Structures are given as structure tokens and as C-alpha cells.
Amino acid sequence: MTQETQDQPHFFYNATLWAGNKVEPIKGWFSVMGGKFQTVHAGDLPAQRKRNSTNLNGRHVLPGLVDCHSHLSVSAWIPFTLDGSGWHNKSDLLRDVRLQAKKLDADAWIIAFYADFFRLGALPSLLELNEAAQGRPLIIQDFSLHKGLASEAAYERASISRMNFSSRDLETNKQGVPTGLLKETVNGHTLSIALTQFAQQFESLNMQSLLQAEANRHLSLGIVECHDPCMHPKLQTSAERFERQTPLKFSWSHVKSHEQADYVSDNVCLSCGAGPRSAKMFLDGADDCALCLKPSDVLKMSARSVGQAVVGKVDTLRAMSRVKLTYREGKIRTPFLRLPHDGVTQQIVELAEQGVRPKIHALGNEAVSCACDSLQKSGVTDATVEHLVLMSDDNLEQVARSGAVASLQPGFLQQAKALAASNVHCVLKVIPAKSLSQVDVPIALSSDNPCGPLNPLANIRRAVTRLSDDGLLVDENESLSPSEAIRAYSIGGQQAIHGRPGVGIEARAPANFVVISGHPMHSYSEVMETWIDGECVFSQGWSTLV
């Protein structure tokens, strides 16, 4: 917006506005001045006000979209790495690694993202990875970013050994020899070192330009605010400089952990950009999801798996056979809770004493229970619990009592085939957005980019339809209405970052909004313009100011 229109109101009319605290659609108009919404009204714009105005021609206007969980500092590198999304088997993977190795110096890193280990089936051995990489350090990331494949040279570069890391994160065969598969902490540690050294291979790459290019991609999708949940401590200075230069409202968290890894921050009291100081805590992993099930639930899952195997569908039985289970206190549990309840409580108390807001990673119902129990014991209510992919009915009230914001990623529903293979969806709620909102838990929707798809309009639609890419309908009772989903991706996202309710399109609120070509539930609708504080920061070329 020009200086002239900053000093006097500019009117936008003939649009569908998703306005107010409930983000309900109305046909109407609004005005912007001084970076804020001055007025928001239903109906037609009075004729005398059309001199300084823009006809939006029936387009839809959404509140500025907020991605409270996007790994921007990781996804910024992806254009310079291998894309594993098209790999269907290990032969595809090894072929592309060999081709990439021929292009690089003998000691250069080979990095790949977006591989789907579930779809690949049999993974290559460490020897096969070594041969394909021709002695180079290699790391291949599963789309979840929670597990990866690494060559022997990568092990050496990252100083990986069973002496340094937990055996649960470092897979070995029966003879104790590494298989090449890395999980959780050791995977994150290796990727962190790989990206740091990878940057040194390209003298022409500038960190600020990489971050800004990725920020521009966020802006082009209607995202006005973004939170990176795991900022590498070595990028603190670059992140602070970038945050001052970009129009995107950018914040981040540091990682607090009792485990040693390259990405763990020794000082979580550093600034976190446009958000409050916050720290990420990991209670479980992706494959290593902390679950607690009744014996009857496990029997139900097993019976269903056997029944499917009888008709030739053996994937579920194979998946069940790989799950590690323990029996304790009348419940069957997966042994993947990374800290006991008392340890989590202690870490939350330590953060609170330093004025640092906890962001707690909890995928499984056992991890969610631990997070909520620890928050209540510590007396801390200003927190965000992230993911909450698999939950029991008991968890719902636990989250409500904790006072935390729940941050969910509907884009994970695209991988419903892998979830269905475990049959756990038969006994637990999957990404229970509706159930959480019904017990008055403030919810936010986000992407977990690059683990999940970044496009917020697509993620909003998935939160409503609950359909996977394969057409599977997942837990349809958890479907949100379009207004609920848009609210969670805007006002809810602000609350997940800042710990206080956000604002949408309403008078005196910051003029953060997105103009889209059609109804947000239509797959062909796209972002035309993105506005932050009354300034157009992205445009398709169709200018609203005429």
C-alpha cells in the first residue's frame, strides 16, 4: 500500500469476507488505513466511498494464514538436494544416488529429502548405500524427518557410534553391525551436521538469500506468520538478521533435550524473533510413537490384522509384528517415551523459571498424557502441545485441564495408508481436531513443512474432508467446518505461537489478509495476494490498488 493510502482509508468491496472471531463468511467490504483494518461491514460499499477503492470482483478474503510449525530453515535447502518423492523401491533410490555421486567431488555430501520408507519396502543395506555413494557421506531423509539412511562416511563425519547415542536410535543387525538406518536424535544430529557441511560446498549460496526464497514461497501461499520449531543454535545470528529483513512475521524455538546432539541448544534464553522465547521438547518420535493401549484394544487390532492377512492383505500383520510392546500397570505400551513424567515436569519448571514457553512434541496418546500431566504438576498453562496424532478419550480432558494449545497437522492424513497398516486408528482417535475443540481446547492447524505439505489451503481442505491422497476417509467424525479450519489456521496459529488468542478480520486489528481467487474449499482456488500490516507482500500480478 502506498504512503497516501496509509494516511487515508482504502476500501475493498464486492468480496466474501471470512471475518470476525468465528471466521464466518459474509458478503461485504472493509477499509484499511495505517496498517490496520479500519472498518469491516456486510453489504455493499456506499457509493460515496468508491473513489479510493478496489473492486475484488467476488473473490474471497481470508485472515492472514499462520503456520505455527514449519521448518523453514530446513526446507530452504531442499531445492539443492535430491528429491526422493518419486522413489518406489530401493533400486530407484540407489540409481539416483549413483548419478548424483558422479556429479560431486569425492568428499561432498549427498542429501536427499521426501523419501517414503514405507512405500520403499525393503531398504538398502549399508553396503549398498556405500557403493552407490562411492565413499561419499550420504543421508536420505524419510518424509517424516524422524528417520534416515546414512552411508559409512556419514557415520564418520557425524561421529556416530553406540558409545555416543542410544541404541534405540541407531539400528544394528543381530551381530551389532549398523544397518544404515538412523532414528530420532541420531538422525537429527546427522542431518544437522550434513546441512552445516553441505553449505560449505556451495560458495555461491548465501544463507540470507536461501531463507528469503523460502519465505517468499510461504508468502505466495498466503502465510503471513511462520514459526520454525527447531532452529539450529549456529543459525541464531542469521535468523535474527533474516527476521529483521523479511516482511514475513518469523519466530522460532530452540531445542531443549537431555540428549546430546548437534541441533540441541545449550542456551534456550536467546531471542526467538517475532515470538516469545520458546523451547522444543521431544517426548516421542514418529515411528517410535509412545502409545498406551488396553489389552482389549490390542486384541482388536490383532484380530483385524489376522483377518486382513487371511484375504491376502499382509501389510497390517507385518506392521503389528514389528511393534515393540511392554506390559505395565494393566496396560500395553510401546517403550518409546523419551523421558519419564518427573523428568518432563522438571524440564518444564526449568523453562518457566527462565521465562521460556514450552513447545512439547507428543504424537502418541502416552506422550500426550505425559505432557499434560507434567504441565499440571508444574503449574504451567502457557504451552503448546504439538501433533497429538493418536489420542484416547481420556486424553481430551487431560489436554483441556492442562490449558495448553493443541497444534495439529491435517496434512499428515495424506499418509493414511501407513497409518491403516497398523490398525491403531481402530482404537484411537486420529488427529482429533473436532473432539479437542468440543472440550474447549484452543486448536491450531499447521503444516510441519517439509514433513507435511506446506500449502495451507490444501491443508484446510483436508481438515474438512479428512481424505488421504489414496481416497481413504480417516476418522470422519473429526472433520472441521471450513470456518473452524480457517480459524485454526489463522487465529489459532497466532495463539499457538504467542500463547494468547489472535485476531482475524475485524476493526482495529492488524491488516493481515489473503485474497484468493474462489471459495477456499475449491481445489482450483489460489492465492492472488498476501497482505501484512496493510502492505501487499505478494501478488500474482493482479493489483488490487487501482
CA distance linking residue 504 with residue 507, whole number of Å: 9
Of 188 and 163, the structure prediction assigns the larger pLDDT to 188
Range 48-63 average pLDDT: 91
**pLDDT at 1 exceeding the cut of 60:** no
Name the residue with cell 486384541. Answer: 299
Of 175 and 384, the structure prediction assigns the larger pLDDT to 384
428 and 365 Cβ atoms separated by less than 8 Å: yes
Q: How confident is the model at residue 468 (pLDDT cuts 50, 70, 90)?
A: confident
CA distance linking residue 130 with residue 178, whole number of Å: 12
pLDDT digits (tens, 9 = 90+) for 365-378: 999 999 999 999 99
Mean pLDDT of the chain: 89
Which residue(s) pair with 60 in the sheet? Answer: 16, 516
Retrieve residue 523's grid coordinates.
Answer: 481445489
Q: How confident is the model at residue 123 (pLDDT cuts 50, 70, 90)?
A: very high
CA distance linking residue 145 with residue 519, whole number of Å: 33
Predicted local distance difference test score (pLDDT) of residue 414: 84
Report the predicted TM-score, pTM, of the whole model to 2 decimal places: 0.92
486 and 18 Cβ atoms separated by less than 8 Å: yes
Q: How confident is the model at residue 162 (pLDDT cuts 50, 70, 90)?
A: low
pLDDT digits (tens, 9 = 90+) for 503-538: 999 999 999 999 999 999 999 999 999 999 999 999
**pLDDT at 173 exceeding the cut of 50:** yes
Predicted local distance difference test score (pLDDT) of residue 328: 82
Secondary structure class of 197 (helix, strand, coil): helix
Percent of the chain past pLDDT 70, that is, above it, reads 91
Predicted local distance difference test score (pLDDT) of residue 543: 55
DSSP string for 263-301: T--S-TTS--BTS--EEEEES--SSS---EE-HHHHHHH
pLDDT digits (tens, 9 = 90+) for 282-318: 999 988 889 998 888 777 766 555 444 433 443 443 4
Nearest alpha carbon to residue 459 among 496, 503, 411: 411
CA distance linking residue 148 with residue 409, whole number of Å: 21
Residue 216 buriedness (CB in 10 A; 0-12 / 13-18 / 19+): middle
CA distance linking residue 210 with residue 208, whole number of Å: 5
Range 409-417 average pLDDT: 86
Predicted local distance difference test score (pLDDT) of residue 316: 43
**pLDDT at 170 exceeding the cut of 50:** yes
Predicted local distance difference test score (pLDDT) of residue 6: 62
Longest dimension (CA), the chain: 83
Predicted local distance difference test score (pLDDT) of residue 163: 60
Nearest alpha carbon to residue 145 among 414, 422, 417, 449: 449
Q: How confident is the model at residue 52 (pLDDT cuts 50, 70, 90)?
A: confident
Residues found in the chain? 546
Of 176 and 401, the structure prediction assigns the larger pLDDT to 401
Q: What single-letter amino acid sits at 519?
A: H
Q: Which domains does the chain have, with CATH numbers?
A: 3-64+506-539 (2.30.40.10), 72-200 (3.10.310.70), 277-503 (3.20.20.140)
Predicted local distance difference test score (pLDDT) of residue 318: 45
Predicted local distance difference test score (pLDDT) of residue 322: 57
Long-range contacts of 89-96 (CB under 8 A, 24+ apart): 89/120, 89/121, 89/122, 90/120, 90/121, 90/122, 90/123, 90/124, 90/128, 93/120, 93/124, 93/132, 93/140, 94/124, 94/128, 94/129, 94/131, 94/132
Q: Checking phi first, is residue 97 left (phi over 0); if not, alpha (psi -120 to 50) or beta?
A: alpha
pLDDT digits (tens, 9 = 90+) for 234-283: 889 999 999 999 999 999 999 987 676 777 777 777 899 999 999 999 99
| Cα distances (Å, whole numbers) of residue 436 to 71, 407, 480 | 25, 11, 11
CA distance linking residue 17 with residue 29, whole number of Å: 8
**pLDDT at 2 exceeding the cut of 60:** no
Sequence-ordered list of residues with C-beta below 8 angstroms from that of 383, at least 6 positions apart, any chain: 348, 357, 358, 359, 360, 375, 402, 403, 404, 405, 499
Q: How confident is the model at residue 47 (pLDDT cuts 50, 70, 90)?
A: confident
